[in-house]
Amino acid sequence: MSKSGPARPGKGKPSTNPYGKAPRKTAKYVTSRPVKSVRDARKRVVEDALADAGKPERLQKLLATAGFGSRREIEKWIESGRIAVNGEVAVLGVQASAADVIEIDGKRMRADKLLGGTQRVLAYHKPTGEICTRNDPEGRKTVFDNLPKVGRGRWVALGRLDINTMGLLLFTTDGELANRYMHPSWSIERRYAVRVLGDVTEEMLKQLRDGVELEDGPAKFDSIDEAGGTGANSWYHVSLREGRNREVRRLWEAVGLTVSRLTRIQHGPVALSPRLPRGKFAELEDELLSQVYSAVGLEPPVKKQDGGHKEKTGRRGRY
Do 146 and 288 lie in one domain? The reply is yes
Q: Report CA-CA distances (Å) from 68 to 15, 152, 297, 301.
A: 35, 9, 21, 17
Q: What is the CA radius of gyration of the chain?
A: 23
Question: Taking 90 as the threshold, does the pLDDT of residue 167 lie above it?
Answer: yes
| Strand order across the 83-85 sheet | 88-89, 83-85, 102-104, 107-108
Per the CB < 8 A criterion, the answer to whether 189 and 198 are in contact is no
Do 244 and 108 lie in one domain? The reply is no
What proportion of the chain, given as a percentage, has pLDDT over 90? 51
Give the three-class secondary structure for 229: coil
Dist CA 160 CA 157 (whole Å): 7
Does 60 reside within a domain? Answer: yes
Report the CATH number that the domain containing residue 253 is assigned in CATH: 3.30.2350.10
Whole-number pLDDT of residue 189: 96
306 φ, ψ to 5°?
A: -85, 10
47-85 residue pLDDT tens: 444 444 557 888 988 888 777 877 888 999 999 999 999
Look at residues 75, 125, 112 and name the one whose alpha carbon lies nearest to residue 267. Answer: 125
What proportion of the chain, given as a percentage, has pLDDT over 70? 74
Dist CA 298 CA 74 (whole Å): 20
Do 169 and 275 lie in one domain? The reply is yes
Query: Which of 2-16, 107-121, 198-212 is predicted most confidently?
Result: 198-212
Does 150 reside within a domain? Answer: yes
Dist CA 195 CA 67 (whole Å): 36
User: Looking at residues 97-121, what average pLDDT do you find?
Assistant: 79
Does 263 reside within a domain? Answer: yes
Does 301 reside within a domain? Answer: no
Whole-number pLDDT of residue 316: 41
Q: Report CA-CA distances (Å) from 253 to 120, 144, 149, 288.
A: 37, 30, 39, 35
Give the three-class secondary structure for 30: coil
Query: Which of 107-111, 146-150, 228-232 is predicted most confidently?
Result: 146-150
User: Looking at residues 212-231, what average pLDDT do you find?
Assistant: 92
User: Looking at residues 17-38, what average pLDDT do you find?
Assistant: 41
Count of structural domains within the chain: 3
Catalytically active residues are 162
DSSP 227: -
Range of the domain at 208: 189-267
Tell me the pLDDT band of 174, cut-offs 50, 70 and 90: confident
Does 12 reside within a domain? Answer: no
The total of other beta-carbon atoms located within 10 Å of residue 311's CB is: 9
Dist CA 20 CA 310 (whole Å): 12
Do 276 and 175 lie in one domain? The reply is yes
Among 114, 136, 152, residue at a domain's last position = 114
Among 68, 98, 114, residue at a domain's last position = 114
User: Looking at residues 138-145, what average pLDDT do you find?
Assistant: 93
Tell me the pLDDT band of 24, cut-offs 50, 70 and 90: very low
User: Looking at residues 124-143, what average pLDDT do you find?
Assistant: 93
Does 52 reside within a domain? Answer: yes
Residue 108, H or E segment? strand 107-108
Do 171 and 199 lie in one domain? The reply is no
Do 263 and 193 lie in one domain? The reply is yes
Does 141 reside within a domain? Answer: yes
The total of other beta-carbon atoms located within 10 Å of residue 318's CB is: 12
Does 29 reside within a domain? Answer: no
Query: Regarding beta strands 270-271 and 57-58, do their DSSP bridges make them parallel or antiparallel, or are they unpaired?
Result: unpaired
Do 205 and 245 lie in one domain? The reply is yes
Report the CATH number that the domain containing residue 87 is assigned in CATH: 3.10.290.10
Do 206 and 263 lie in one domain? The reply is yes
296-306 residue pLDDT tens: 998 887 654 44
Whole-number pLDDT of residue 283: 94
Among 59, 89, 114, residue at a domain's last position = 114
* pTM (global) more than 0.85: no
Dist CA 94 CA 79 (whole Å): 12
300 φ, ψ to 5°?
A: -65, 150
Whole-number pLDDT of residue 302: 65
Do 147 and 195 lie in one domain? The reply is no
Do 193 and 259 lie in one domain? The reply is yes
Dist CA 92 CA 82 (whole Å): 12
